[in-house]
Amino acid sequence: MRMRVLAGIVLLAAVVAGSGTAVLAAQTAMSSRIFIGACNTEGQFVTCSVQGDISHPSSITAQVWAVPGQRVHVTWDDFCSHGLTSGDRGGHFTVFASARHKISRRIPLAAGHSGKCTPDVLVSPSGTGRVHLVLHGRN
């Protein structure tokens, strides 16, 4: 009887350890996506801005949507530094975005992105309503 209980405990421990490893591997694969920040605002002539830091990014993505659907102007700047190397890169684009048509765009990385980057993204809707911005990165 004791041998069966012991064998059951060993089997249970092996299953738990195996599934724990699978969960840990899944979390590791998912952990490369980093939340940088989010904002939302509503009204007329409003802006919404997110700024944050990310270390060693391989990409930075801004997701934008508006209610009601409308043109949204997006301005971005990205400052990166690594040791003695640093760089600044900026730009803008205008898109039509709505709750059903969320727009995701990569923000080009500046020189020095193998160190720490500080993206700053500002969105301005063309009309009255609500605008949302979410900034993510991968490393």
More confident residue, 59 or 114: 59
Domain range summary for the chain, segments of one domain joined by +: 1-31, 34-138
Show the tokens assigned to 47.
């802006």
0.95 surpassed by pTM: no
The listed range with the strongest mean pLDDT (2-11, 79-88, 129-138) is 129-138
C-alpha separations of 84 from 81, 117, 119, 132 in Å: 7, 14, 19, 36
Q: How many whole angstroms separate alpha carbon 23 and alpha carbon 103?
A: 31
Average pLDDT for 86-101: 96
Please state whether the peptide bond connecting residue 68 to the residue before it is cis, i.e. omega within 30 degrees of 0. yes
pLDDT for res 11: 43
| Residue range 8-29, pLDDT digits in tens | 444 444 434 444 333 334 434 5
CA distances to 21, 75, 102, 135, 139 from 113, rounded to whole Å, are 32, 19, 27, 16, 10
Q: What CATH topology corresponds to 34-138?
A: Jelly Rolls (2.60.120)
Mean pLDDT computed over 39-61: 95
